[in-house]
Amino acid sequence: MSHFTHIKTRFQNLFYLEKALNRLNINYKKVVSSQIPNSSLIITQSNGYDLEFSWNNHEYELIADISFWQQTYPIETFMDQIAKQYAGEVIIGESQKIGFQPVKYEQNLDGSNTLILERWNRQIS
């Protein structure tokens, strides 16, 4: 018997969530429905118990049957990795809107990320 768990997140932007999954090389498919205003992202598993990021009117929550978890990492690590990448994508995307450009983005040995942005001040005389 399946017992689905709904895991709260702070992922509110589908574009940045997709970019984070892509950066982590996590394959997913986007499901668009005419009845639901926001798309869902499905991460397939070979056992048929897929993972889903679904909009709950506030955020994209992860829906999964934890007893059939087949990802490389435990769920806590999996979610932490996505959250880290999501935060980096939000910082880059929102910073670019105000003129910053990413110069360096790398993952450190301790698991943290380094992100360097720059913006040139254009003074016209």
Please state the rounded mean pLDDT for residues 24-44: 88
Residues spanned by the domain of 45: 4-118
Flag whether 123 is in a domain: no
**Please, is 83 exposed, middle or buried when counting C-beta atoms within 10 Å of its C-beta (0-12, 13-18, 19+)?**
middle
The Cα–Cα gap between 5 and 115 comes to: 33
pTM: 0.86
Residue scoring higher pLDDT (3 or 63): 63
Flag whether 124 is in a domain: no
What pLDDT sits at residue 63?
95
Helix residue spans in 5-74 (DSSP H): 14-23
Flag whether 61 is in a domain: yes
Radius of gyration of the chain (CA): 17
Do residues 15 and 92 touch, judged by C-beta distance below 8 A? no
Tally of structural domains, the chain? 1
What pLDDT sits at residue 87?
94
**Tokens found for residue 112:** 């943290």
- The predicted-structure confidence for 99-123, as pLDDT tens digits, reads as follows 999 999 888 898 788 989 998 877 6
